[in-house]
Amino acid sequence: MNGSTPLVGAIAGDMVGSLYEARPIKTKEFPLLSRGSRFTDDSVLTIAIADALLSDGGFAVYLKRWGKRYPDAGYGGSFIRWLLSDDNEPYNSWGNGSAMRVSAVGYACDSVASVLQQAEQTALVTHDHPEGVKGAQAVALSVFLARSGADKQQIKNEMTQRFKYDLNRLLDHIRPGYQFDVSCQGSVPESLIAFIESVDYEDTIRNAVSLGGDSDTMACIAGAIAQAYYDGVPQWIADAVEERLTEDLLEVVNRFDEVYGVGTH
């Protein structure tokens, strides 16, 4: 795996944030990756969506397949009930689970319209609330625009105009009062700002975690966009991700890279 492999930015963000979800911090000064850093449900479900896109299969089928393979990855209660149920009916969620898992769509699609359509489909199987759909579309479109050469102002304008997110806030103003928030509307805009204010990939992740919220998910979201914008992640981070992924998860990441990686479009 190299630093430009699609999905590694999202997965690395998840791993970095995994240590701080239960004990939030309000600083950018922390060890980026340590022995306890691990993948969580964010990575498992990101890879599930990637596998579905590769296989042209149903998103619900692949989310359940991978979710059941890793039942202790840290899913929310509503998702667990859906995962273990006999039907695939959505549960009207506005949670950020739809946004954390969608980044592969930004690589697999080749137009704004197709990104929005596919992102909606990934969300609807569980998160059929308008905010759940909007969060997924915003993240996927940000990844697509970033890898297509859009600058930060263009991405910001698109998110503001299309999704009505308030991105005119500063992290230093958000951080003091920000609390753990699993809603799309309460965490996706902040994750976008973490990217917008960044100077590189690592800085993006530090920004996202420093808000003291749903750190693994917010760093996963911000990291996915940052990887696309900064043309990859540092190689040492990619190596750390590869060391921490299981073989079956890594196999999907590598297969997705072969089909949708840099130079394949």
Q: Going from the N-terminus, what domains does the chain have, and what CATH number goes with each?
A: 8-260 (1.10.4080.10)
pLDDT band at 57 (very low <50, low <70, confident <90, very high): confident
Decide if 260 contacts 105 (C-beta within 8 A): no
Residue 221 gets which letter from DSSP? H
Nearest to 37 by CA among 183, 184, 220, 191: 220
pTM above 0.85, yes or no: yes
Average pLDDT of the chain? 97
Checking if the pLDDT of 246 tops 80, the result is yes
Pairwise CA distance, residues 138 & 259, whole Å = 23
Nearest to 195 by CA among 156, 140, 232, 148: 156
Pairwise CA distance, residues 171 & 87, whole Å = 41
- The string of pLDDT tens digits covering residues 198-207 is 999 999 999 9
pLDDT on residue 56: 83
Q: Residue 24 corresponds to which tokens in the numbers above?
A: 């939030």
- The string of pLDDT tens digits covering residues 96-141 is 999 999 999 999 999 999 999 999 999 999 999 999 999 999 999 9
Pairwise CA distance, residues 139 & 202, whole Å = 18
